[in-house]
Amino acid sequence: MYSQSSSASIPRGDNEYSKQDASPTLDTLVSYLIVAKRGLSSYHYVWRANEIVTDARTALEDSVVASSRTTFLRRGLNSQLRMLYKVRSEVAEISRRGRSEFTDAIHSLDTADARLRSTINLLKETFVHASFRPKDEEPKSLYGFLDERGVEELNTAMKDSIDRTNTARRDLDTSNQEFDDELDSTRQALHQYRSATKLASSRASASSSSSSASESDLQAVSLMPGMLQSLEEHARKMARNLESLVNHFDLCVKVLKHTEGGGAAARSITGDITEDVNAGNVLNIEETLDAPQAPISAKEYRDMLEVIVNDTPVAEDVVVELQDRINDMESIFEQVIVQRDSIFAISDATVVIHRHLSKLASTRLPRFIAQAHNFTRVWNEEHERINSGLTELSDLHALYEGFLNAYDSLILEVTRRAHVRKRVDKILHDTQHKLTQLYEHDVASREAFRVEQGDFLPSDIWPGIGRAPMQVKFLRLSGGQLEGALTAEENTKDRGVDTSADAQITTPEDLAEGEVIPSLPKDIIERAYARVKARTRDLVKE
């Protein structure tokens, strides 16, 4: 603890001066003043302390501003990063889903096209039997009866849809690759950001166990007020110690000026101190040096002697304390500057990465999103066209399969009709044979009746008594068109049949020739039957 007198505040020494002791000599008093003068030379410590406190306060204010800005930017940075990776994830999902759907659509198209091509090849390989066609016609396959333009136009439409989708997909892939490059650049910037903040954090506080930027700058800001308070406390104590040294110096000067021969000595010793000390605007001792000698009592003089005798031994200790305090302040201030620089470094790194992300979000990110939307729009349009094409391919396949099946069924139908024709011919042959027998028997019976009874019956009793029996002839008529194919009137006209009352009896001789049924080889019939049977079996399985 410091003990202060009414005129000085330097801590007292252990050897307290006694009023009964002999008064110090002039040389002793001069030596006291010299010691006091050396103590005043420590005023620059106080000046430096004032600078340190001012600079530390400024550093704290700047650090608080920078830390607040960093905290604000970091919140935006985290939000931007989440948004960036969310958009990349959604764009990747659009690409993945579109690629999967497009692959499935292409696979379905390939499958449908392969089925159609297989059926077309069968149509090309299946030639219509010559018995179905005019004699002078070249061999013709079933495919020759089809219009190829429908298949070609459908294939062209599907190719255009595929090409447009592939173009949109390539554009999306290119955009996504650029997006990934931007993410790589962002990751590098983030790595540099973390390296800078980690380095700043490690320099900020050796006692800090945190390595994250957010914790480091907050911790640095939280430590700085305590450091500033410590610096201010040191500065206040140094100011009080310097004030004590000034008071001690003033008292020494005053004692010398009231000692015989001491005034000149005091002026000689202190002649070079006013300019140096007052240049710093820290002390103002010129008034003490130039003040007139006011009369003092002997008691006052002895009291002043007692103070300077007791204070002089500890004046140098006060100077040492000032040196120790300024050294402590320099060390603390160095930590403040390190903390401030770490906050600035983290803030600068945050600003750099924030600008990078802001530029990405404002310029290139909208283009990446627009490219994804464009692909979605194109794919939705072409997907609908491809699905329509798949339906048309399926319909064509069903039509061509039906054509193949109908041709095989035609062969079986011709076989059936030939079989019916044979049955009809057999019935006609048998009937004609029986009718001939009936006719001959009737002729014989009529002739026997005429021989036996003709002489007894008048000739005019019945005109038909001498007529021969009627004869029956079978006439083959053209079948014309079926009722379902033409109207009844068109059917009868096509058949050339008169619809009058006697039509069934008096058929004109110039009617169209009867139906011509093609004659098919047995192997043609057997193959057609096998194919129809196989298709029926496949339908049952389905």
Positive/negative CA dihedral, 25, 26, 29, 34: negative
Same domain? For 337 and 480 the reply is: no
Burial of 49 (0-12, 13-18, 19+ CB in 10 A): buried
Give the count of domains, the chain.
2
Report the alpha-carbon distance of residue 185 to residue 469 in Å, rounded: 117
Give every CB contact of residue 410 below 8 A, 6+ residues apart in sequence. Answer: none
Residues 220, 320, single domain; the answer is yes
Residue 374's Cβ-count burial label (10 Å; 0-12, 13-18, 19+) is middle
Share of the chain above pLDDT 70, in %: 79
pLDDT, tens digit, 9 for 90 and up, residues 193-231 = 777 777 766 665 544 444 444 455 555 567 788 888 888
In this prediction, residue 502 carries a pLDDT of 35
For position 273, what pLDDT does the model report? 62
pLDDT at 339 over 90: no
Residues 301 and 450 in one domain: no
Task: Mark whether 446 and 379 lie in a shared domain.
Answer: no
C-alpha angle 516/520/525, rounded to 5°?
130
Asked whether residue 400 is domain-assigned, the answer is no
If asked whether residues 384 and 269 sit together in one domain, one would say yes
On whether residue 8 sits in a domain, the answer given is no
Exposed (0-12), middle (13-18) or buried (19+): which is 286, by Cβ within 10 Å? middle
Confidence of residue 282 (pLDDT cuts 50, 70, 90): very low
Does 304 share its domain with 452?
Answer: no
Structure tokens given for 20: 């009964």
3-state DSSP assignment of residue 504: coil
Stronger pLDDT, 398 or 269, i.e. the higher one: 398
Contact 349, 197 (CB under 8 A): yes
Asked whether the predicted pLDDT for residue 94 surpasses 80, the reply is yes
Look up the domain containing 442 and give its range: 412-456+464-541
Token pair 């690629």 in the structure block, residue? 99
* 324 and 227 both lie in a single domain: yes
Distance CA 67, CA 402 (A): 81
Domain end marker among 391, 421, 439: 391
Residue 155's Cβ-count burial label (10 Å; 0-12, 13-18, 19+) is: middle
pLDDT-derived band at 263 (thresholds 50, 70, 90) equals low
**Residue 367 resides in a domain:** yes
Which of 337, 356, 391 represents a domain boundary (last residue)?
A: 391
Residue pLDDT, tens place only, 31-87: 777 777 777 777 888 899 999 999 989 988 988 888 888 888 888 788 888 888 899
Report yes or no on 123 lying in a domain: yes
Question: Considering only 37-51, 59-73, 234-248, 300-314, which range has the smallest mean pLDDT?
Answer: 300-314
Residues contacting 275, CB < 8 A, separation 6+: none
Contact predicate 151/112, CB 8 Å = no
Tell me what the pLDDT averaged over the chain comes to. Answer: 79
pLDDT grade for 165, boundaries at 50, 70 and 90? very high
* 215 found inside a domain: yes
Residue 407 within any structural domain of the chain: no
Alpha carbons 304 and 312: distance in angstroms, whole number: 12
- Gap between the Cα atoms of 136 and 114, Å rounded: 35
DSSP assignment of 220-285? HHHHHHHHHHHHHHHHHHHHHHHHHHHHHHHHHHHHHHTSTTHHHHHHHHHTTHHHHHHHTTS---
What pLDDT score was predicted for residue 112? 92
382 plus 448 within the same structural domain: no
| pLDDT for 494 beyond 60 | no
The verdict on 438 and 471 lying in the same domain is yes
Tell whether 2 is covered by a domain.
no
- 10 within a domain of the structure (yes/no): no
Q: Give the Cα separation of 240 and 51 in Å (integer).
A: 17
Say if residue 345 is in the same domain as residue 470. Answer: no
Whether residue 373 is found in the same domain as residue 451: no
Amino acid at 178: E
Helix then strand then coil, in percent of the chain rounded to 5, is 75, 0, 25
pLDDT number for residue 210? 42
Are 324 and 431 found together in one domain? no
- Residue 504: CA count within 13 A, CB half-sphere: 1
